[in-house]
Amino acid sequence: MGIATTDQGFTRGAMRAEMLDAETELALAYAWRDQRDEQALHRLITAYMRLAISMAGKFRRYGAPMNDLIQEASVGLMKAADKFDPDRGVRFSTYAVWWIKASIQDYVMRNWSMVRTGSTSSQKSLFFNMRRVQARLEREATAAGIVLEGHVLHAQIAAELGVPVHDVEMMDGRLSGSDFSLDATQSVEDEGRSWIDALEDDGPQAEEVVTNSHDNATLRHWLLNAFSTLNEREQYIVRERKLREEPRTLESLGGELGLSKERVRQLEAAAFGKMRKSLEANGPEVAAFLQ
């Protein structure tokens, strides 16, 4: 099945598509999986194209044409439909989010000029998360009256994202090489729109609210099971680092537990590795909810 051209008419049509209830969605998924019913597949994809378009819009700030982003989101949506197992008890929309996001991210990584040389999981994590983590660390340091030197900041970012320091240093150089004013015009094709107009709106968008309480209960159950695989010390570290309203620092936990900052970081990484392995038993895409 081909991907429709992503003009304004297509987008409007996608936004008017039917909203599937859980029972209908399940029936369509079974029809496609068991009978390869292409009409069922088309109906399933059409119903969730609005989700793909909404997610594609979040990546406009990277400078890629919106039509291309929607094209890649559509590819991810079709991969999700092809691989979805309705017996797992999760709504298709919950499953599709991972595939759509992965498809768009791979496209951005392939086509953004500064990161053509690699797309490892470490680089992808840094590309999409480094500036956000850096901004938070700098705000916290400023509030505490601390000036973060470059190498210290890089080390803290590496610890936060669980990646090597040299990858942080490399990505910082690449991203810094493309910094420019947000008031600058994107291109003549964008009719004078500035980059700041393409920034993601942090507020909730109605078209993204496509899951129900069953999805959340299932995911919560999986997370609790994954958490139960940890020992008492690992559970404490995860709670203090990830579940508090104001997460503890590696240094404060190290002081309390009588461990070095690096040892706490290693224990945290090991704990998340255990949880990720448990979540992946429900499907490789489920582990994405731990990020």
**Do the domain assignments include residue 98?**
yes
pTM: predicted TM-score of the whole model, two decimal places: 0.47
Same domain, 33 and 63: yes
Q: How confident is the model at residue 20 (pLDDT cuts 50, 70, 90)?
A: confident
Q: Write down the H helix ranges in the chain.
A: 8-15, 22-35, 38-47, 49-57, 66-83, 92-111, 121-143, 150-161, 165-176, 213-228, 232-238, 250-257, 261-280
pLDDT (mean) for 24-47: 92
Which tops the pLDDT comparison, 136 or 189? 136
CA-nearest of 80, 76, 92 to 27 is 92
Same domain, 189 and 216: no
Contact 282, 222 (CB under 8 A): yes
Q: Look at residues 169, 200, 231 and tell me which one is the last residue of a structural domain.
A: 200
CA-nearest of 186, 215, 214 to 199 is 186
Q: How confident is the model at residue 142 (pLDDT cuts 50, 70, 90)?
A: confident
Which tops the pLDDT comparison, 247 or 198? 247
Same domain, 100 and 129: no
Ranking 16-25, 148-157, 165-174, 223-232 by mean pLDDT, the lowest is 165-174
Ranking 34-38, 68-72, 106-110, 249-253 by mean pLDDT, the lowest is 106-110
Q: Look at residues 69, 84, 111 and tell me which one is the last residue of a structural domain.
A: 111
User: What is the model's pLDDT at position 32?
Assistant: 92
**Do the domain assignments include residue 207?**
no
Q: How confident is the model at residue 212 (pLDDT cuts 50, 70, 90)?
A: very low
CATH number of the structural domain spanning residue 51: 1.20.120.1810
Distance CA 233, CA 267 (A): 9
Number of domain units in the chain: 3
User: What is the model's pLDDT at position 285?
Assistant: 54
User: What is the model's pLDDT at position 57?
Assistant: 86
Q: Look at residues 60, 81, 111 and tell me which one is the last residue of a structural domain.
A: 111
Amino acid (one-letter) located at 243:
L
Same domain, 99 and 123: no
pLDDT(62) > 80: no
pLDDT(17) > 50: yes
pLDDT (mean) for 20-39: 91
* C-alpha dihedral, 149 to 153 to 155 to 157, nearest 10°: -170
Ranking 16-20, 76-80, 219-223 by mean pLDDT, the lowest is 219-223
Same domain, 280 and 258: yes
Same domain, 166 and 98: no
Q: For residue 133, what are the domain limits? A: 117-200
User: What is the model's pLDDT at position 290?
Assistant: 53
Distance CA 244, CA 246 (A): 5
User: What is the model's pLDDT at position 245?
Assistant: 78
Contact 107, 41 (CB under 8 A): no
**Do the domain assignments include residue 84?**
yes
Distance CA 265, CA 274 (A): 14
Same domain, 128 and 234: no
Whether the CA torsion 107, 108, 109, 113 is positive or negative: it is positive
**Do the domain assignments include residue 107?**
yes
User: What is the model's pLDDT at position 198?
Assistant: 47
pLDDT (mean) for 120-140: 79
**Do the domain assignments include residue 141?**
yes
- Chain centroid, CA 187 distance in Å: 27
Over residues 86-129, the pLDDT tens digits come to: 888 888 888 898 899 888 888 887 776 444 444 566 777 777 77
**Do the domain assignments include residue 206?**
no
Over residues 146-183, the pLDDT tens digits come to: 877 888 888 888 888 888 888 888 777 666 654 444 44
Same domain, 196 and 216: no
Mean pLDDT of the chain: 76
Same domain, 285 and 228: yes
Same domain, 57 and 132: no
CATH number of the structural domain spanning residue 281: 1.10.10.10
